[in-house]
């Protein structure tokens, strides 16, 4: 069904507030989820609300964290969120990074001890909207076989990048270091749809198109994706003194426990590397150049990274956001959660 964005955001916010989250934190959480749904990334949108509500209600997110922000150098800082809600404190960490980059040209800010923070494109877009380049990466729980391995060790460990242009549009990409994010498998399950045979493997390590038979994801481009997910694990985990690899906490194992995840933001201010306005004009020219390239068979046009999401957002702004009926019925209900996630096998139906 179709839901107007204001209505959807309010429903999502109200549900996590009912679970116990503070209004201020709930506002940001709902905004990050709305951002994902508007851009067609439904795997990180409304379908996640019930999981968050259950973790909040069961104490797995610290509702009154003792937050510490430490400037560790001219361009470096660490925000320890004391296992508060990831969306809010990841945003706060990017806000701090943007302020540092405005003053010193570049910023690297680690955000440690947070819960799941949602779509990384939200945070790099913060930087792009301030006419700066944003990079963000974070850990996730182990569900990916390393190249050459037969059992999971790393998470999907996503990376996001954004660059602004003079046109007001941003180049944005947000990618898992797996062929596909786990949330996309969940989305396929929610719609009872098959998945491509190169996304994941079953219990025997064989490719599967059945989202309910998935037992592990696979790295993008084999050893290259394996190297990238290792990089993310080091920069967003080990660098911040956090658990890494197979030691990263499960999303579902115990919703009463904090997850202690890490995220790293990097912000670059073009003004410190040349002419800022020329940088923005060059990004706009790059977008135009890509549009002028002869399209391959089956394509109408070459799009810049993030443009398909922009197009989807424009449509959803006009027509309402597509939400699975079961998810909308849950959001409309008085039920805080249905006890579906605690101690759940992440690969279970």
| Domain coverage including residue 35 | 2-274+310-332
- Does any domain span residue 279? no
Residue 325 has pLDDT above 70, yes or no: yes
- Does any domain span residue 343? no
Q: How confident is the model at residue 167 (pLDDT cuts 50, 70, 90)?
A: very high
Residue (of 56, 45, 51) closest to 22 by Cα position: 56
User: What is the value of pTM for the model shown?
Assistant: 0.94
> Distance (Å, rounded) from C-alpha 261 to C-alpha 112?
6
Give residue 345's pLDDT. Answer: 72
Give the burial class of 64: count Cβ atoms within 10 A of its Cβ; 0-12 exposed, 13-18 middle, 19 or more buried: exposed
Q: How confident is the model at residue 186 (pLDDT cuts 50, 70, 90)?
A: confident
Cβ contact 143:288 at 8 Å: no
Give residue 348's pLDDT. Answer: 61
Give residue 172's pLDDT. Answer: 98
- Does any domain span residue 282? no
Residue 96 has pLDDT above 80, yes or no: yes
**CA angle, 291 as apex, 286 and 294 as ends, to 5°?**
120
Tokens 């709930």 belong to 26
- Which are the catalytic amino acids? 116
> Distance (Å, rounded) from C-alpha 96 to C-alpha 168?
23
At 41-91, the pLDDT tens digits run 998 999 999 999 999 999 999 999 999 999 999 999 999 999 999 999 999
Query: Beta-carbon neighbour count of residue 342 at 10 Å?
Result: 16
Helix (H) or strand (E) holding 159: strand 159-164
- Does any domain span residue 202? yes
The CATH number assigned to the domain holding 139 equals 3.30.1370.60
- Give the number of domains in the chain: 1
Residue (of 321, 335, 333) closest to 7 by Cα position: 321
Residue 291 has pLDDT above 70, yes or no: yes
- Does any domain span residue 35? yes
> Distance (Å, rounded) from C-alpha 230 to C-alpha 226?
6
Rounded to an integer, the average pLDDT of 320-339 is: 96
């Amino acid at each position: 069904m179709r839901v107007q964005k204001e209505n959807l955001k309010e429903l999502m916010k109200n549900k996590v507030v009912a679970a116990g989250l503070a209004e201020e934190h709930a506002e940001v959480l709902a905004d990050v989820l709305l951002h994902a749904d508007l851009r067609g990334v439904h795997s990180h949108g409304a379908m996640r609300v019930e999981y968050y509500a259950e973790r909040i209600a069961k104490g797995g997110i610290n509702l009154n964290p003792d937050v510490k922000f430490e400037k560790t150098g001219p361009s470096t800082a660490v925000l320890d969120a004391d296992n508060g809600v990831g969306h809010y404190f990841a945003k706060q960490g990017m806000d701090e990074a943007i302020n540092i980059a405005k003053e010193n040209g570049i910023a690297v800010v680690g955000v440690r001890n947070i819960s799941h923070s949602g779509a990384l494109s939200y945070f790099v877009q913060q930087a792009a909207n301030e006419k700066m380049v944003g990079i963000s990466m974070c850990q996730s729980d182990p569900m990916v076989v390393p190249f050459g391995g037969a059992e999971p060790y790393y998470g999907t460990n996503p990376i996001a990048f954004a660059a602004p242009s003079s046109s007001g549009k941003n180049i944005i990409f947000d990618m898992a270091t797996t062929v596909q994010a786990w949330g996309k498998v969940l989305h396929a399950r929610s719609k009872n749809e098959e998945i491509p045979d190169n996304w994941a493997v079953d219990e025997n390590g064989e490719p599967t198109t059945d989202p309910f038979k998935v037992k592990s994801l696979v790295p993008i481009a084999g050893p290259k994706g394996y190297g990238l997910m290792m990089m993310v694990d080091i920069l967003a985990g080990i660098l911040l003194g956090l658990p890494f690899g197979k030691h990263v906490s499960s999303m579902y194992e115990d919703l009463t426990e904090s997850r202690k995840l890490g995220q790293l933001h990097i912000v670059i201010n073009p003004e410190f590397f040349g002419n800022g306005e020329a940088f923005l004009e060059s990004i706009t020219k790059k977008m135009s150049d890509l549009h002028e390239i002869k399209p391959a068979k089956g394509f109408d046009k070459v799009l810049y990274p993030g443009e398909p999401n922009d197009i989807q957002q424009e449509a959803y702004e006009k027509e309402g956001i597509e939400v699975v009926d079961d998810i909308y019925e849950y959001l409309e209900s008085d039920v805080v959660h249905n006890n579906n996630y605690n101690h759940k096998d992440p690969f279970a139906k």
